[in-house]
């Protein structure tokens, strides 16, 4: 599959960005991910003490924090953008099809554009997940974006609801302006930028925000400097570890999500922040259902549920065909996926 270039549109208009990476040097070719999120640890509802951008990474813990729901299981939700329907209409359709609410509703916000004061269509019982676009690191590291970051922190705080915040996702790909490939091949700059944002949010008292660090399932380019772990900000700055992965080349859930889960699942809850089935839809959903149920470190799954993704003719909807919808409904009605 030919790699798609960066496609960024305002999520508040219902449009997101989904990139694909070229084949990796391993035996399996690799696409990229698009947007998703999970239940956070018990401490996720508030940030820790203010941390400076230059603070060293803390020592990793060895225990898995329980989901924010306080019970075992998985929060299942989606990014919803269906052709010809508003978000409210799309949510109502999925509610009828699945006989349940979305536990997570995923939205995309631009880096320095319009930010809504609220999300009235997102039910109080649903967790709001925000993918906030990144930016070239230089304008963050030099302090030039501090005022805007403070403004966003205050707006998200004022929403007065728990928010899962995924900033600068898929940084180990080469399709976004905030990628390592576009910023001097220096992942340390991303780490410093992330810590700066984290500190500013803490200073603004945005205690309702939990932070999702979310690489793509594989790196593009697949070279030593671009390994995903080089971008990890440190356990004190991350509440959830997310991952984007789609079966563009027939990859299994264990191929897409196993490496991230093995690396970080003993320290942080894992959220499949973007996934969808491109090939063998029903089979992929069935395998995902089984793999997640057998992987307790995973606390959330967020489907990329759209048929209007800019730059691709792929149909990512859960009801793209009847067998896919039946498989997804089976997963959605499993009590384990109703945490």
Active site residues: 170, 274
Question: Do the Cβ atoms of 61 and 105 come closer than 8 Å?
Answer: no
Question: Which tokens sit at 305?
Answer: 């549920």
DSSP string, 262-297: HHHTTTS-EEEEEEE-SSSHHHHHHHHHHHHHT-TT
Going from the C-alpha of 107 to that of each of 79, 117, 133, 312, 324, the distances in angstroms are 6, 13, 11, 19, 23
Helices 146-158 and 187-203, interaxial angle, to 10°?
Answer: 50
Going from the C-alpha of 322 to that of each of 210, 289, 290, 325, 329, the distances in angstroms are 36, 17, 20, 5, 10
Question: Do the Cβ atoms of 223 and 230 come closer than 8 Å?
Answer: no
Which residues, other chains included, contact 51 with Cβ-Cβ below 8 Å and sequence gap of 6+? 195, 198, 199, 202, 236, 237
The single-letter DSSP state of residue 216 is B
Extract the runs of DSSP E, i.e. beta strands, from the chain. 75-81, 104-109, 127-132, 163-167, 209-213, 240-246, 270-276, 298-306
Print the SS3 string covering 217-248. CCCCCCCHHHCHHHHCCCHHHCCEEEEEEECC
Half-sphere exposure of 31 (CA within 13 A, CB side): 26
């Amino acid at each position: 599959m030919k790699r798609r270039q960066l496609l960024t549109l305002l999520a508040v208009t219902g449009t997101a960005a989904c990139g694909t990476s070229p084949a990796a040097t391993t035996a399996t070719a690799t696409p990229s991910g698009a947007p998703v999120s999970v239940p956070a640890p018990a401490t996720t509802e508030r940030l820790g003490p203010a941390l400076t951008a230059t603070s060293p990474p803390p020592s990793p813990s060895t225990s898995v924090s329980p989901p924010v729901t306080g019970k075992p299981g998985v929060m299942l939700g989606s990014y919803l953008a269906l052709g010809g329907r508003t978000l409210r209409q799309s949510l109502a359709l999925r509610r009828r099809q699945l006989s349940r609410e979305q536990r997570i509703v995923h939205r995309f916000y631009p880096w320095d554009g319009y930010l809504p004061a609220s999300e009235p269509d997102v039910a109080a019982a649903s967790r709001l997940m925000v993918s906030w676009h990144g930016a070239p690191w230089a304008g963050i590291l030099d302090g030039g974006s501090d005022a805007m970051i403070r403004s966003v922190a205050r707006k998200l705080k004022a929403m007065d609801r728990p928010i899962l915040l995924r900033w600068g996702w898929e940084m180990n790909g080469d399709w976004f302006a905030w990628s390592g490939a576009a910023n001097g091949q220096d992942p340390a700059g991303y780490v410093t930028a992330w810590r700066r944002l984290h500190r500013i949010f803490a200073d603004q008292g945005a205690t309702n925000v939990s932070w999702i660090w979310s690489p793509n399932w594989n790196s593009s380019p697949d070279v030593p400097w671009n390994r995903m772990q080089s971008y990890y900000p440190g356990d004190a700055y991350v509440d959830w570890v997310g991952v984007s992965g789609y079966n563009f080349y027939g990859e299994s859930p264990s191929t897409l999500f196993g490496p991230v889960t093995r690396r970080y699942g003993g320290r942080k809850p894992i959220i499949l922040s973007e996934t969808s089935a491109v090939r063998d839809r029903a089979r992929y959903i069935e395998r995902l259902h089984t793999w997640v149920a057998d992987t307790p470190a995973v606390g959330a799954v967020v489907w990329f549920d759209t048929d209007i993704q800019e730059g691709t003719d792929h149909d990512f909807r859960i009801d793209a065909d009847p067998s896919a919808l039946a498989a997804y409904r089976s997963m959605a009605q499993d009590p384990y996926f109703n945490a």
